[in-house]
Structure 1
Amino acid sequence: MIALRPTTPDDAAALQALYAHCMTEATWLPESAKRDPILAEVTVGEVLHLAETAADGVVGFVSVQVADAFIHHLYGAPASRGRRVGRSLLDALQAWLPSPWRLKCVSRNGEALAFYRRLGWEALEAGESAHGPYLLLGFPAGATGEQVPEARRSGC
Structure 2
Amino acid sequence: MLRVRQATKQDHSALREIYLKSRAQYFTWMDSSKLAPEDFDRDTEGELVLVATNGARIIGFVAVWIPDHFIHHLYVHPDYTGQQVGTKLLQTCYETFDASPPLTLKCIKENAKALRFYRSQGWHIKGDGVSSNGAYYLMEYGGIHRT
> TM-score scaled by structure 2?
0.90
| Greater mean deviation of Cα atoms: 35-44 or 128-137 | 35-44
Aligned match of 1:40: 41
Distance 1:89 1:78, change over 3 A: same
Tell me, yes or no, if the aligned pair for 2:71 and 2:104 is still in contact at 8 Å.
yes
Instruction: Give the SS at the match of 1:98.
Output: coil
Map 1:1-156; keep pairs closer than 5 Å: 1-31=1-31, 34-37=34-37, 38-54=39-55, 57-99=57-99, 100-140=102-142, 142-144=143-145
**How many aligned residue pairs are there?**
144
Aligned match of 1:149: none
Report the alpha carbon displacement of residue 87 of structure 1 after superposing the two structures with TM. 0.4
Between the aligned partners of 1:97 and 1:34, the Cα distance in structure 2 is 34
Report the alpha carbon displacement of residue 30 of structure 1 after superposing the two structures with TM. 2.0
Instruction: Tell me which of the two structures has the higher relative contact order, counting C-alpha pairs closer than 8 angstroms and 6 or more residues apart.
Output: 1
What is the aligned-residue identity percentage? 35
Report the alpha carbon displacement of residue 96 of structure 1 after superposing the two structures with TM. 1.8
Report the alpha carbon displacement of residue 26 of structure 1 after superposing the two structures with TM. 2.5
Tell me, yes or no, if the aligned pair for 1:33 and 1:131 is still in contact at 8 Å.
no
AA at the equivalent of 2:40: L
Q: Superposition RMSD on alpha carbons, in Å?
A: 1.8
Report the alpha carbon displacement of residue 132 of structure 1 after superposing the two structures with TM. 1.1
Between the aligned partners of 2:7 and 2:133, the Cα distance in structure 1 is 27
Between the aligned partners of 1:83 and 1:39, the Cα distance in structure 2 is 23
AA at the equivalent of 2:2: I
AA at the equivalent of 2:132: A
| Greater mean deviation of Cα atoms: 8-17 or 24-33 | 24-33
AA at the equivalent of 2:138: L
AA at the equivalent of 1:102: T
